[in-house]
């Protein structure tokens, strides 16, 4: 327990940032005038004074509301007055107390003080254990801290009073002022000791963390000092041996920067970064970043060029050797090279090669680079969705690197390479930016003279670079980017072109790649046609080449088997032995002319296809049913066709009330394949008229064209691919829109000679050509398939 209880009128001294506990001897300096006068008044009396902590240490003249509720009655033991004017006081706490009444505030605080007696504590095992734990924790605290509390430790070890132990530990530890004030105000000895133990545990943990941080800091400092002394020794040793040191490295950097002969702004930027590098300690992170930056910039081909071979004749030979067909594409590329030959100062044109997969877009770019004697660097843009991939990252980021353009220039090693930007239509955008927007500066001849990569930071001239981009479609290419490029379209190969490419390029290439000799494998033309027609269905020749690779592997195994085989010849009937069963059945024309069955023509990403349209008419209430996985545009075409037929029913020989009494079902076979587009309009119209009038449709006729509700036939696209599909299907007559007559010049000569083309501006021409009006059936319109069978005619609905 504490000393005797003390109450009465006493001088009051406000304590800033300090708490005095009962039973504890404390010395402190007194500086405020009021505090000095209160102390002098106490010295003139019985030396008792009331010390109370104030809440805000910045308050110079505190009042009652600025104090904590509990203070300490102390007795002044000693007063020292050094020559510096300060007053140092030694006091000893007597008991806790509170201000009952503040009597006066001037010239010092004076009031009536009520002493607070200590609560009685019961001597229990728990209290004993708590005291032991607190003493042990204080011992641990003294071990990790530099606090001189050994005497306090000896004193509390002989005590079993929770109040005295808590006050002694709180007074002689580095707890925060507010925590000490809270302990002073806690009047329950056991709870006060529990809180003291929690705070002491926190102090121990904080000291250990601080000690760990300091040890790490000292270790780092010692390591840097050790490295510094070692570097100095190495420097002296190198000087003695006449070897180079870091200064020679910096001199090499400076020499390379001067040799680049850059503009003043760029050279000053590099020299500034070199100066920063010289100031960095060896092995620092900043030094690594600067070294990497200077190495990247100095590796760029600022002035190195290859001698360009601008010759139309040489380029023509290279293109003819590497690629068969594609006359229009070759002609357009040779025109570009001719312009370069006539006007060398003109910036290279930016070409965009567009076409289906496998038609040779990338290989043409390689051929152009070889023809012009330019280094080629390929940049794949498929899946790129970060603008920083094009323009690079700021070098302040960890792991920063230049963009793909600058990286490709470094790989090419020349200032005038051919950069192939492959799959430009496969770029995407997200929250990190739009890479297609970053390409706008790259592909603009007016801006790319001073192209700035985020990592390189200084302008680089891209005006001498020849850019070629490739894409499968232009639908996903941004308009501003497309505006900067000249588009050259590569169309699908015809079967005859594929035959020649296979014979002259693909088969010799695979024979050589698989270690065969030319005499060991021969594939007949009929065998090649069988592979083209029944094992591949594509615009290009990529899958066709895989088929030849598959054959070569099997021939390798056959030649190495126990069988005595020196040569393998593959004819049409032998293909299945090497490639398995047919993957695609050849298109076959219907055996007879059908009612309500018309052959249309469609364009797909892998070339042209024939598309049959089936129409069935039944008794009903005038419903129109459309099936076959159709898109909105194709459904609208069917409704437009029906609208035209209703408006012209009398001229077409159809009952005018058919839309009330008949249901029409239009079906496009291969329902798993999505279909859309307006070019099946005339096909649907012809099939409906045929079914409604019981008029057969010529099986040797195929058609394509969009229809308006007034019966006009509108132009379509993809005519070359569609006519090739018609030829494969075996038709002899193709109906096309009148406005597509000009496109016949683009069609392969083999196709033009084999087919008869009919141009139509109205539906009347289409119906006159396709319908066999002289063979109109006498029976009424078909109501169901059983009626068709009974009448002896073919059913209108062909089941797949």
In angstroms, rounded to a whole number, what is the distance separating the alpha carbons of residues 47 and 30? 16
Residues 6+ apart with CB under 8 A from 269: 457, 458
Alpha carbons 782 and 368: distance in angstroms, whole number: 61
Q: Name the residue among 181, 170, 168, 177 with its Cα closest to residue 69.
A: 181
Short-list 34, 151, 170, CA closest to 93: 170
734-754 in b/e burial notation, b at 16+ Cβ within 10 A?
bbbbbebeebeeebbeebeee
Give the pLDDT score at 788: 32
Res 775: pLDDT: 56
Beta carbons of 368 and 315 less than 8 angstroms apart: yes
What's the pLDDT tens digit per position in 607-656?
Answer: 678 888 999 999 988 899 999 989 999 999 999 999 999 999 999 889 88
Joined tokens for residue 198: 């929690």
List the beta bridge partners of residue 707. 713
CA gap 22, 27 in Å, rounded: 14
Please list the residues that pair with 721 across neighbouring strands: none
Query: Strands 624-627 and 701-703, how do they pair?
Result: unpaired
The pLDDT of residue 247 is 63
Pairing, β 25-30 against β 376-380: unpaired
Residues 677 and 634 sit within 8 Å (Cβ to Cβ) = yes
The alpha-helical segments, DSSP class H, found in 466-541 are 479-483, 495-501, 507-513, 525-534
Q: Which ranges of 595-716 would DSSP assign to H, the alpha helix?
A: 632-647, 649-652, 658-661, 681-693
Phi-psi region of 598 (alpha: psi -120 to 50; beta: other; left: phi over 0): beta
What integer pLDDT is reported at residue 149 of this predicted model?
73
Cis omega (within 30 of 0) for bond into 107: yes
Instruction: Tell me the HSE value of 5 on the side-chain side, using a 13 A CA sphere.
Output: 10
CA angle 234, 236, 238 (to 5 degrees): 65
How many CB atoms neighbour CB 102 within 10 A?
Answer: 14
> Largest Cα–Cα distance of the chain, in whole Å?
142
Regions of the chain where pLDDT drops below 50: 1-2, 777-800
Q: Is residue 548 within 8 Å of 568, Cβ to Cβ?
A: no
pTM: 0.59
Q: What angle do CA 274, 279, 285 make, to 5 degrees?
A: 85
**Rounded-to-integer distance, Cα 418 and Cα 256, Å:** 26
pLDDT tens digits, 449-471: 888 888 888 889 888 888 999 99
pLDDT of residue 793: 32
Instruction: Note the pLDDT of residue 626.
Output: 93
| Secondary structure (3-state) at 436 | helix
Tokens of 67: 């104090």
Distance between CA 650 and CA 202 in Å, rounded? Answer: 101
Output phi, psi for 63, to 5 deg: -120, -175
- pLDDT tens-digit profile of 739-775? 999 988 878 777 888 899 999 999 999 999 999 876 5
Task: Report the run of H or E that residue 702 belongs to, with start and end.
Answer: strand 701-703
Phi, psi of 518 (to 5 degrees): -60, -35
Distance CA 549, CA 578 (A): 11
Q: What is the spatial distance between Cα 762 and Cα 627, in angstroms, rounded to a whole number?
A: 26
Give which of 167, 161, 174 is closest to 200, Cα–Cα.
174
CA angle 270, 272, 276 (to 5 degrees): 115
Instruction: Look up residue 236 and give its DSSP letter.
Output: H
Contact 593, 696 (CB under 8 A): yes
The H-or-E segment that residue 471 falls in is: strand 466-471
Are the beta carbons of 158 and 132 closer than 8 angstroms? no
Distance from C-alpha of 615 to C-alpha of 596, rounded to nearest angstrom: 5
DSSP tag of 488: E
CA distance 272 to 293: 12
Q: Look-up: residue for tokens 């254990």?
A: 129
- Distance separating alpha carbons of residues 732 and 573, to the nearest angstrom: 27
- Active centre residues (catalytic): 679, 722
């Amino acid at each position: 327990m504490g000393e005797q209880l003390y109450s009465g009128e006493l001088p009051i001294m406000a304590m800033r940032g300090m708490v005095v506990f009962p039973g504890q001897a404390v010395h402190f300096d007194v500086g405020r005038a009021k505090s000095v006068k209160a102390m002098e008044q106490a010295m003139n009396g019985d030396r008792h004074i009331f010390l109370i902590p104030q809440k805000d240490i910045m308050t110079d003249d505190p009042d009652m509301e600025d104090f904590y509720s509990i203070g300490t009655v102390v007795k002044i033991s000693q007063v020292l007055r050094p020559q510096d004017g300060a007053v140092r006081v030694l006091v000893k706490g007597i008991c806790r107390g509170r201000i009952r009444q503040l009597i006066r505030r001037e010239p010092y605080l004076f009031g009536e003080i009520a002493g607070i007696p200590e609560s009685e504590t019961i001597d229990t095992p728990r209290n004993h254990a708590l005291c032991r734990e607190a003493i042990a924790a204080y011992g641990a605290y003294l071990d990790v801290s530099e606090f001189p509390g050994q005497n306090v430790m000896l004193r509390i070890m002989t005590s079993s009073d929770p109040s005295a132990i808590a006050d002694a530990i709180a007074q002689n530890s580095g707890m925060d002022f507010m925590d000490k004030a809270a302990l002073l105000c806690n009047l329950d000895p056991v709870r006060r000791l529990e809180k003291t133990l929690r705070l002491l545990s926190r102090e121990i943990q904080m000291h250990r963390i601080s000690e760990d941080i300091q040890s790490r800091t000292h270790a780092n400092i010692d390591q840097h000092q050790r490295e510094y002394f070692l570097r100095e020794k190495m420097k002296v040793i190198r000087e003695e041996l006449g070897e180079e040191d870091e200064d020679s490295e910096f001199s090499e950097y400076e020499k390379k920067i001067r040799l680049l002969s850059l503009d003043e702004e760029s050279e000053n930027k590099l020299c500034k970064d070199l100066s920063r590098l010289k100031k960095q300690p060896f092995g620092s992170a900043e030094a690594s970043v600067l070294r990497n930056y200077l190495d990247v910039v100095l590796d760029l081909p600022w002035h190195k060029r290859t001698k360009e071979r601008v010759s139309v004749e040489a380029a023509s030979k290279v293109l003819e050797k590497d690629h068969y067909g594609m006359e229009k594409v070759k002609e357009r590329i040779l025109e570009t090279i001719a312009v370069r030959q006539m006007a060398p100062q003109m910036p290279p044109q930016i070409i965009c090669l567009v076409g289906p997969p496998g038609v040779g877009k990338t290989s043409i770019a390689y051929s152009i680079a070889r023809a012009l004697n330019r280094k080629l660097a390929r940049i794949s843009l498929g899946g790129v969705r970060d603008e920083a991939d094009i323009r690079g990252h700021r070098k302040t980021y960890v792991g920063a690197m230049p963009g793909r353009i600058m990286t490709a220039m470094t790989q090419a090693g020349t200032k005038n390479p051919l950069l192939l930007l492959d799959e430009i239509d496969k770029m995407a955008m997200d929250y990190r930016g739009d890479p297609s927007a970053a390409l706008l500066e790259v592909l603009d001849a007016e801006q790319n003279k001073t192209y700035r990569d985020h990592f390189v930071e200084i302008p680089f001239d891209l005006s001498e670079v020849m850019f070629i981009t490739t894409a499968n479609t232009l639908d996903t290419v941004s308009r501003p980017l497309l505006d900067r490029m000249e588009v050259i379209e590569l169309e699908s190969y015809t079967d005859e072109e594929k035959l020649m490419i296979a014979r002259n390029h693909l088969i010799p290439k695979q024979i050589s790649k698989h270690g065969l000799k030319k005499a060991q494998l021969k594939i007949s033309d009929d065998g090649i046609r069988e592979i083209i027609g029944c094992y591949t269905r594509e615009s290009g020749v990529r899958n066709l080449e895989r088929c030849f690779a598959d054959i070569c592997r099997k021939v390798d195994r056959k030649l190495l088997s126990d069988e005595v085989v020196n040569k393998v010849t593959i004819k049409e009937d032998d293909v299945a032995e090497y490639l398995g069963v047919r993957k695609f059945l050849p298109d076959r024309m219907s055996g007879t002319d059908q009612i309500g069955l018309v052959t249309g023509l469609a364009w797909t990403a892998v070339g042209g296809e024939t598309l049959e349209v089936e129409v069935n008419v039944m008794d009903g209430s005038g419903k129109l049913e459309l099936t076959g996985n159709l898109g909105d545009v194709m459904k609208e075409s069917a409704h437009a066709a029906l609208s035209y037929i209703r408006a012209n029913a009398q001229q077409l020989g159809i009952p005018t009330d058919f839309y009330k009494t008949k249901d029409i079902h239009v079906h496009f076979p291969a329902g798993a394949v999505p279909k859309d587009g307006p070019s099946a309009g005339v096909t649907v119209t012809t099939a409906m008229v045929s079914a409604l009038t019981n008029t057969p449709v010529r099986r040797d006729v195929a058609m394509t064209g969009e229809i308006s509700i007034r019966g006009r036939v509108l132009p379509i696209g993809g005519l070359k691919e569609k006519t090739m599909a018609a030829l494969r299907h075996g038709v002899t007559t193709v109906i096309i829109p009148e406005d597509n007559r000009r496109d016949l010049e683009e069609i392969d000569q083999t196709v033009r000679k084999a087919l008869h083309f009919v141009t139509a501006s109205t539906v009347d021409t289409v119906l006159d050509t396709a319908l066999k009006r002289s063979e109109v059936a006498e029976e009424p319109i078909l109501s169901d398939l059983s009626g068709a069978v009974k009448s002896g005619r073919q059913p209108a609905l062909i089941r797949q």
